[in-house]
Amino acid sequence: MAIDIYKINPEFRDIMPKEIIDLEENATWAQNQKKPRGIKEMPDTKEILEEHSLCAGCPEAAALRYVLAALPKPEETIIVNSTGCTSLMFPHIALHTVHSLFGNQNAVATGIKRVLDWRFPDIEKDVVVLAGDGATVDIGLDYTLQSFFRQENITTICFDNEVYANTGGQESGATPKGQVFKMAPTGKKFEKVKMWELATTAGCHYTMNMTASAPKAVAKAVREAILVAREIGPTFLNIYTPCILEIGLSANEGLGEMKDQDKDRFASYKFVSPEAEEFLKKCKAEGKL
Amino acid sequence: MASIKDMTDTHNWSGQKLVTADHMLFEAPREKHFMTGSEVLKEAVKRCTVDASVSYPITPQSEAAHLIGELWAEGYVGTYFRGENEFGVMSEVAGCAMAGARTITTTSGPGTLRAMENFPQWSGTRIPCQLILMARGINSPLTIQPDNLEVSFMLETGCMIWYAENVQELFDMSIAAFIVAEKPDVHVPIITVVDGFFVSHTRESVMLPADDIALLPYEPYKSPLPPIDSETPPGRFLRDPFVMKSNYISYATHASWQWEVRSAVERSRPYAKHFLKGLVHVTGTPDAEIAFVTCGTASHQAKEAERELMKHGIKTKVIKLRTIRPFPKEELLAELEGVKHIFVPEFNVVGWLEKEVKTALHNNHTAKVIGGPRVAGGMSLPAEAILKEVFEHINVEGK
């Protein structure tokens, strides 16, 4: 019944805000689409994210819009969040989302996914984790990796801005070596944690390291990762979404920074397990990609 | 493994006939068994149509957690797995309960403290999950022995806290706990405490109903917050208070939300009173001037002391608190009418129950409260120690 929950009671239609009516009439719900959802519909359709409160030009905000536009079946998707800038946007997402604690996102997602599989054995419900690098690589590393070890059927997306941005610019495990941030006043002493490599080692079936410079590439990765997670096992996307504020860039410079990093720290890394590769071929043949 | 598709209107997925909690607890015929607290918890969970459980090893609750796993393997529990540590487990429990599952877990001592950030998150999220706390000492120094200091850390988490004295009470309480926690006007987590080893590992006679009946399932759509399952319109707010903006509305929202959690705990009183047959249980001489206020196995020891003191011609009574949150203030004050000396024997060094009792009595009662005897770190609490405390404080001759 998930798609039906977006249908407005006719009695209340005249008092509904426009964005709610737009959601029903003009959002790209998978059930109403002939082809897989994607980036190209964004200008003409209602996005699942309503206005948000992040900084002007924030690449993370753009990346979240790409992620939401690419969900294979938003009406059956639950997104689990952690504390950080993204949690400022979560109240504006028209899906079931959870913010619980800082760092426990993969544990909460595990509980939700296990129970949804139990309660709805005939409905595919996707659980997607979306958290920053502090939540994923530092405070929540144990829970992230353990969910990979357990082969949970969830997709984990890390918006890696290489810094604790929301708390004011402190060094994180994902910060590059030598970078001066708060709590690393003489520069970071150790290398950036290569979370994508850890994810592959820990058992992810589809792992990518990329930037959010190319919307279509992000959308493709999100769609593939979620389909693989549904059928095969855990998947992980590490997406560079720089904090322009903390690295001293202007609102119009985020895209350039991501493009530069496409060739550097975020040079494309992709791992697809043989089972996942086989499955994705099948998806493509069936028109799911 | 079980499938929820095997559930019918009259039977759950494991073929047990669905009954009300009243039938299960008060009407169904019972037979005598001989088992430990861990074993009786398995029997309780078996009869509760439980959707989900997450486990982690720590003494002394491990066996109870294994046995819930066996129930899953036998098809009585919907989903079950071992988490990575207690912080993870309690977050996984939160996820299970948010997604609409009747959920139970168990922990002890250091596990409780490791998981601590989750408990106010549970209550703030208004999930009705149940934690069986088999109390043990907390570090350092390392101890695995019974000691209920950890309960003091749980008092202000916004969770209900019930305290069972023995194996029988653990069975009955853990069943009633689900039902009370799931009431739509309550709907907060419940922590059912027993003293580790003394209850978890002690074999006692218990009366159990047959295992071919089980509680009616949890109904997640009666929750005050919709379950996270994409089956109800999204509220466009987080499952915790929307404090994402710094303004006075968000401050007021957070404050009123926290207050509402505590109010929900208070609203559990009539249900708890019904299922527990009162929030306090009293034994001994009704008009005694000496009272023991206790919870858990300290109650058992106090009852033995009461009998011994009677042999010395000293009339006492034991007021056993069955709920700690909500704290049964009115019931306690009513039972303390005419009492001049109150002893609070406890299994911890800080005397958290003494503080609770003193808070309830403040400006309401003039009895002298003696916080003792106290034992900790695994020491036992013999009736002789309680007698000694009484004789030391009250001007009577004793041996």
Model pLDDT for residues B137-156, shown as the tens digit of each residue = 999 999 999 999 999 999 99
Residue B272 lies in a domain: no
pLDDT tens digits, A126-173: 999 999 999 999 999 999 999 999 999 999 999 999 999 999 999 999
Query: Which residue of chain B has the CA closest to A149?
Result: B84
Between B398 and A74, where is the model more confident?
A74
Looking at beta carbons, which residues of chain A come within 8 Å of B79?
114-115, 117-118
* The predicted structure's pLDDT at residue B243: 55
- Tell me the per-residue pLDDT of A162-205, one tens digit each, with 9 for 90 and over: 999 999 999 999 999 999 999 999 999 999 999 999 999 999 99
Query: What residues 203-232 of chain A have any CB closer than 8 A to a CB of chain B?
Result: none
For residues B390 and B394, give the distance between their C-alpha atoms in angstroms, rounded to a whole number.
Answer: 6
Is residue B343, in this structure, part of any structural domain at all? yes
Which of B185, B202, B221 terminates a domain? The answer is: B221
Beta-carbon pairs below 8 A across chains A and B: 148
pLDDT tens for B35-55 read 999 999 999 999 999 999 999
Of the candidates B62, B16, B15, the one whose C-alpha atom is nearest the C-alpha of residue B41 is: B62
CA distance B380 to B198: 9
CB spacing of A142 vs B88 below 8 angstroms: yes
Q: Is residue A25 situated within a structural domain?
A: no
Higher per-residue confidence, A34 vs B17: B17
Share of chain B above pLDDT 70, in %: 95
CA contacts within 13 A on the Cβ side of B352: 17
CB distance B238–A50 less than 8 Å? no
Q: Quick check: is B137 in a domain? A: yes
With beta carbons less than 8 A apart as the criterion, state whether A272 and A280 touch: yes
The count of domains in chain B is 2
Q: Are residues B161 and B292 in the same domain?
A: no
What are the beta bridge partners of residue B11?
B17
Is residue A271 in some structural domain? Answer: yes
Structure tokens given for B306: 């009461």
Residue A2 falls inside a structural domain: no
- Please count the other Cβ atoms lying within 10 Å of the Cβ belonging to residue A19: 15
Whether chain B has a CB inside 8 Å of the CB on A116: the answer is yes
**Nearest-Cα residue of chain A relative to residue B98:** A112
- Kindly state whether residue B89 falls inside one of the protein's structural domains: yes
Model confidence at B245, pLDDT cuts 50, 70, 90, reads low
Mean pLDDT is lowest, of A20-24, B44-48, B86-90, for A20-24
* Interchain pair B95, A93: CB under 8 A: no
**CA of B226: which chain A residue's CA is closest?**
A96
Comparing CB atoms, the residue among A76, A97, A121 nearest residue B5 is: A121
Nearest chain B alpha carbon to A9: B233
Query: Regarding predicted confidence, which is higher, B224 or A212?
Result: A212
Say if residue B173 is exposed, middle or buried (CB neighbours under 10 Å; 0-12, 13-18, 19+).
Answer: buried
Q: Are B204 and B319 part of one and the same domain?
A: no
Q: Is the pTM of this model over 0.95?
A: yes
* DSSP-based three-state secondary structure for B312: coil
How far, in Å, CA of A257 to CA of B304, rounded?
75
CA dihedral B152→B154→B159→B163, nearest 10 degrees, is -50
Q: What angle do CA A279, A283, A286 make, to 5 degrees?
A: 140
What is the CATH classification number for the domain harbouring B288? 3.40.50.920
- Interface contact flag, A101 B118, Cβ < 8 Å: yes
Question: Do B88 and A119 count as a contact with CB atoms less than 8 A apart?
Answer: no
What is the pLDDT of chain A when averaged over all its residues? Answer: 95
pLDDT digits (tens, 9 = 90+) for B159-172: 999 999 999 999 99
- Tens of pLDDT, residue by residue over B195-243, are 999 999 999 999 999 999 999 999 999 999 889 999 998 865 444 445 5
Indicate whether B388 belongs to any domain: yes
Provide the percentage of residues in chain A whose pLDDT is more than 90: 87
Whether residue B286 is found in the same domain as residue B191 = no
Q: Is A232 exposed, middle or buried (0-12, 13-18, 19+ CB in 10 A)?
A: buried
Asked if residue B271 is part of any domain, the answer here is no
**Contact at CB, B99 and A115, closer than 8 angstroms:** yes
Whether the CA torsion B104, B107, B111, B112 is positive or negative: it is: positive
Same domain, B175 and B40: yes
CATH number at residue B195: 3.40.50.970
Under 8 Å CB-to-CB from B26, ≥6 apart: which residues?
A: none
pLDDT at A75: 95
Residues ≥6 apart with Cβ < 8 Å to B30: B207, B208, B209
Mutate to test the interface with A, among B55, B80, B231 (most CBs of A within 10 A): B231
In B84-194, where does DSSP find H-type helix?
Answer: 86-98, 109-114, 118-124, 149-154, 167-181
Task: State yes or no: cis peptide before B373, omega within 30 of 0.
Answer: yes
Nearest to B228 among A96, A101, A142 (CB): A96
Q: For residue B99, tell me if it sits in a domain.
A: yes
The domain spanning residue A106 has which CATH number?
A: 3.40.50.970
In angstroms, the CA A2 to CA B231 distance is 5
Q: What is the ipTM of this complex?
A: 0.97
> Which two structure tokens, joined as six digits, stand for B43?
């029997």
Testing the interface with A: which of B54, B230, B250, B254 to mutate, by most A Cβ within 10 A? B230
Boundary-marking domain end, from B221, B238, B254: B221
Q: Which positions ≥6 away from B355 have C-beta within 8 Å?
A: none
Residue B118 amino acid letter: N
Confidence of residue B398 (pLDDT cuts 50, 70, 90): very low
**Count of structural domains within chain A:** 1
Q: What is the per-residue burial (b if ≥16 Cβ within 10 Å, else e) of A107-129?
A: bbbbbbbbbbbbbbeeebbbbbb
Minimal Cβ distance to A101: which of B89, B91, B231: B91
| pLDDT bucket at B325, cuts 50 / 70 / 90 | very high
Name chain A contacts of B238, Cβ cutoff 8 Å: 81, 87, 90-91, 97-99
Residue B254 lies in a domain: no
Q: What are the residues facing B160 on neighbouring strands?
A: B190
In a domain, A269, yes or no: yes
Amino acid symbol at A222: V
